[in-house]
Amino acid sequence: MRMLINVPETVVADALRGMAAAHPELTVDVEGRLVVRRDAPVAGQVGLVSGGGSGHEPLHAGFVGPGMLSAACAGEVFTSPVPDQMVRAAMAVDSGAGVLFVVKNYTGDVLNFAMAAELAEDEGVQVAQVLVDDDVAVVDSSFTAGRRGTGATLFVEKIAGALAGEGAPLERVAATARRVNESSRSFGVALSAVTTPAKGSPTFDLPPGELELGIGIHGEPGRERRPMMTSGEIADFSVNAVLDDLRPDGPVIALVNGMGATPLLELYGFNAEVQRVLTERRVPVARTLVGNYVTSLDMAGCSVTLCQVDEEMLRLWDAPVRTPALRWGR
């Protein structure tokens, strides 16, 4: 097993210790598996809490900071955090304005965040939830009931985080987060299988010369397997799958995301093909983000997420953000 780790059992703790050393602006509880803004709670602001299994970095801990998340809960690799983590996160970031849970649609996350919301409210914290379910590839899988939550999570966390930073009330932040999710669709492609530290070998079989169309971020099966395709052919298939479901009638933000092991050289080349398809389909692109943001450990591959935006959503997207993995503005 060729991995830059000590032992599989300490992978998450080691990563959190390294994050703490690199980012003093964050409070990192290694034992409790929590990452919190050091200035939390921020008076008058809704707190945003998300989380999920580790292995998708920078999602979620890399998005903690001004303009985005208030706290993130880290589960073990590809395993949901537990309700106690979520409750402690909510308590840490609640200023009295309430807390929004951003939940990807995976069974463990959904159940545990729902339980945490009840427990937090017993402690006097007002909690709202938004479920992210943007993946158009398949409905129902080994991890979900309904559509999986993938790249739109970044859009929800950024736009809702900016609105919370303006002091908007919980009801409005939650409604905007849901509107972002409803306006977003994603599709992913795997060029190689993913290897988890605990297993030490690929979690599924993807023969050389084949790819999986519609893969999930845990290695869940997609729509179909095909012989290797060119970047342009993959863009044709992926973008059209998203557009045929989303059917945008206005500008979009495009996220061209790497799955963890795909170089930026390839991702930027793939983005050129994505932009070509969008131009051919006469879809105006307001903003584009390219890079590794919602990953699957060492999987080679990519995903495309499109979010149709209005003026307010685009303004909130452009608002300043300062996190380990996403930062712009002043």
User: DSSP per residue over 157-201, as a string?
Assistant: HHHHHHHHHTT--HHHHHHHHHHHHHTEEEEEEESS--B-TTT-S
Residue 52 phi/psi, 5° resolution?
170, -170
Of the residues 56, 88, 147, 158, which is catalytic?
Answer: 56
Residue type, 18: G
CA separation for the pair 166, 38 (Å, rounded):
19
270 close to 234: Cβ distance less than 8 angstroms: yes
Sheet with 34-37: list strands edge to edge. 26-29, 34-37, 71-77, 47-54, 99-104, 127-132
CA separation for the pair 165, 123 (Å, rounded):
24
Residue type, 296: S
Of the residues 218, 283, 303, 316, which is catalytic?
Answer: 218
CB atoms within 10 A of CB 133: 25
Residue type, 203: T
Among 257, 253, 290, 294, residue whose Cα is nearest residue 104 = 294
Cα torsion angle, 75, 64, 50, 310, sign: negative
Reply yes or no on whether 60 is catalytic: no
Write the Ramachandran bin of 102: left for phi over 0, alpha for psi from -120 to 50, otherwise beta: beta
CB atoms within 10 A of CB 176: 22
Which element (helix H / strand E) includes 301? strand 301-308
CA separation for the pair 79, 174 (Å, rounded):
25
Reply yes or no on whether 23 is catalytic: no
Give catalytic residue positions: 56, 218
